[in-house]
Amino acid sequence: MVSKRKYILTIIAVVILTAFLTLTLGNVFMVELGQKVFLSKDEYGQMRKMSEKYAKQESIMQIAQRDFLYEADEQVMLEGALEGTLKALGDPYTQFMSREEYEALMQDTEGSYEGIGVYITASDDNKILIVSPIEDTPAEKAGLKTGDKIIRINGAEFTADQIDAAVKIMKGEPGTSVTLTIQRVNSDGSNDISDVVVNREKIRIKTIKPAMLDDNIGYIRITTFDMQTAKDFKTAYAALKNKGMNKLVIDLRYNPGGMINSTVEISDMFMNEGIVTYTKTKAGEVEYFKSDSKAEDIPIVLLINEGSASASEIMAGAMKDTQRATLIGTKTFGKGIVQKVQGFGSDGEGIKMTVSEYFTPAGINIHGIGIEPDIEIQLPEDAQGYGYEFYETDNQLQKAVEVLREKQ
């Protein structure tokens, strides 16, 4: 039989042990005793704050499930809450992506997808703005242009707030079509609104278009910067050199950007040791992207315009600041911020978020400003196109050749 003194001592020991577990180990994990779970005061406080923080969200979902006339799917509402959280930041480049959207973005980065072939973003008036159609894709063949705004898709109105849903509709099975209602601003300031039918295709983006011009002047157009671009550029450059190229035009017109590493790798080919660009986060963390001391010794002209954005502007800014190339054309788009894409959760979803801003070697951030060319010249409105195939009416390319001919 247990003595009274031993019984009291046992009770005291249990109380002390329970208090110890609750106040110490409870800071790391919960302690379960029977049907109860003991938490530390800090853990309890954190859980209570979380409950209070999201009480309104839970209450709204319960009201919707109880009173909403139509189906109120809890999973759909939760995903909508995630989308709304990032959309509330007010940055058109930051978004939550469903599994399908995340997979599509990964495909685009790799250089192929099924759709119409157009780069879009949000305009200042909350409309879907075409940054540029991709060359040799249905969008370009249908006559879509930089600056066009997509206001309806298959008859339904869409704004920039619905850009993800718009992309999902424009992509689709090859052989099918989509009708876009386009708003285009004319040179006199008037607006034209018209319907354009665009056929969907399997699009393998050819990011490099090389050619040899007269007087041993090489020409390489870069349509975008994806995972294969730097490799393809080096192949095209070597082929042109074997044909006798001793001067080069790099055409970045209507190039909406892409991967930083790709544009840095190409810029590094022509720059001496130094900084190509650097990025800075909100916390002040700086990452430098540098070129080594090896550089191709060849005169270069860079063609730019209002459709040259992001990674294109990194190259243009680096070449201009270091006086490595002459920039010809018109002012660039002005996107000087960097997005990080990452997987999220366990269902294949993703997040694209603006995490830093980038600077040219001279420490200039061009976001919302753009890069001015060394020689400004507008492409004529009646030009049949741009690039070496349209040399006779492409006065910007003609000027590039003229400048290079004067270089020794």
As a whole number of Å, the CA-based R_g of the chain is: 29
Please, how many CA atoms are within 13 Å of residue 167, restricted to the half-sphere of its CB? 23
Asked if residue 149 lies in contact with residue 127, where contact means CB atoms within 8 angstroms, the answer is: yes
Active-site entry in 209, 320, 335, 352:
335
C-alpha span between 115 and 175 (Å, rounded): 10
User: What is the signed CA dihedral for 327, 330, 331, 335, rounded to 10 degrees?
Assistant: -90
Number of helices (H) and strands (E) in the chain: give both, helices first.
11, 21
How far apart are the C-alpha atoms of 162 and 169, rounded to whole Å?
A: 11
Provide the 8-state DSSP code for 204.
E
The residue among 218, 267, 208 whose CA lies nearest residue 246 is 218
Is 335 designated active site?
Answer: yes
Distance CA 73, CA 259 (A): 37
- Burial string for 289-310 (b: 16+ CB within 10 Å, else e) reads bebeeeeeebbbbbbbbbbbbb
- Confirm whether 123 is a catalytic residue: no
- β pairing state of 156-157 and 149-153: antiparallel
Comparing CA positions, the residue from 281, 327, 272 lying closest to residue 305 is 327
Check if 321 is active-site: yes
Q: Pick the closest to residue 376 from 334, 333, 328, 332 (CA basis).
A: 328
User: What are the φ and ψ backbone dihedral angles of 174, each rounded to 5 degrees?
Assistant: -55, 140
Per-residue CA distances from 23 to 17, 19, 33, 144, 312 (Å): 10, 6, 15, 66, 57
Q: Is the dihedral of CA 198, 117, 108, 123 positive or negative?
A: negative
Please give the helix or strand (H or E) that residue 237 lies within, else none: helix 229-242
Catalytic one among 226, 321, 356, 394? 321
Residue corresponding to tokens 């003229």: 402
Q: Are 174 and 114 spatial neighbours (Cβ–Cβ below 8 Å)?
A: yes
**Catalytic residue chosen out of the listed positions 310, 312, 320, 352:** 310
- Residue 356 CA to residue 333 CA, distance in Å, equals 18
Question: Which residues does the annotation mark as catalytic?
Answer: 310, 321, 335
